Amino acid sequence: MNKLKFKILKQVGNARVWEITLNGVTLQTPIFMPVGTKATIKGMVLDMLQDTKYIGDLPAIKLILANTFHLYLRPGDELIKKAGGLHKFENWNSLILTDSGGFQVFSLGLWKDDDKQIPPNPPLSSGGDKHDVKIKLTEEWVKFRSPYDGSKHMFTPEGVVDIQCNLWSDIMMVLDVCSPGKADKKVVEKQMQMTHRWAKRAFEHFEKKYDAARGVLFPIVQGWTYLDLRQESIDFLSQYARDGIAVGGVSVGESKELVRDVVEFVWPKLPNDKPRYLMWVGTPEDIMHAIEFGFDMFDCVLPTRLGRHGEAFSDDGNIKINQAKYREDFTPLTKTCGCYTCKNFTKAYLFHLHREKEMLAGILLSLHNIVYLERILEDWKQEFLKK
């Protein structure tokens, strides 16, 4: 029996509203997951995501994301297990999705695949000497050096499942090979096929502990912008979509148009009766596009990252709060949001905080950006259910 229950509430054309129930928590899709990489959403108290004082009349946010790679390195999955799991460790009473850490491993820097050196996307590199190989990939494992202290580590498909079980994750992801953006098709195909073999190993390992584990496991479709490879990946991985399926390898350097081409190609080929998770997509326009093509779950660091750098979503495009025109602007970021920031503070005050490098600026803008996205989704769901 599947632990994750997925019930249709309404579907019109490609778009849909479904209900997910897992581990005693029920939520409606489509849903955006705020990213709490290191067991925290940067600068925020998690209670704010479920308190009407901060999110207005929105339903409580019930699903957030954490990062397996970073939590494995610090403070360590075994320590979190001793603490009673990630929920108790960070005091969160709803659901947590953990990514596999594959994206982070393969973004560390120069890596070797069968002794062939492969550079990552420059924006994803952690820096360092361009000739310093930080990752070694083989059929059995990927070895890497910690970006914190240079210590050596190894991930296997089975080991990453075990790490996420130690974290007591609700939704876990398989270890995949995230090919560098703009990679040669032969490289992408080879690494996609390794992702498939690793997925098989991960699910065979997880099947033995499915009933005892808290969480469920999703496969990740790869193939970058090569649509024939995407088709091959879906064909292979759909057999493992017991509780849901993810689409990865987008937003890694390709254009917005190519991302949308992938979204429009894959959606009708994915299992229709399971949650569909589009990874690393987080702008309002990209989320709305993907919803119209049947995707249910989204995550991205963009809302909080933009907030920390003084940028806010608004109905009229992003607001860069450091611009001088906001110095005497005594209006809220947007009148339609309803978040704590918009109800209590003006652009002039936020301009002042940001200019003075007060940490409160990043907190208030991050909260606004998260609520703004959630508001868009909630308004869309309510209108959709009336149709």
Question: Which residues are known to be catalytic?
Answer: 99, 299
Distances (CA, A) of 244 to 225, 271, 335: 22, 8, 36
Strand partners, 220: 246
Q: What is the residue whose two structure tokens read 């596999």? A: 100
Q: Are 300 and 280 in contact (CB under 8 A)?
A: yes
SS3 string, 299-316, reads: ECCHHHHHHHCCEECCCC
Cα–Cα distance, 147 to 73 (Å, whole number): 9
Please work out, in degrees rounded to the nearest 5, the angle formed at the alpha carbon of residue 99 by the alpha carbons of 264 and 83.
Answer: 155
Distances (CA, A) of 68 to 65, 181, 280: 10, 22, 15
Cα–Cα distance, 300 to 278 (Å, whole number): 10
Cα–Cα distance, 261 to 127 (Å, whole number): 31
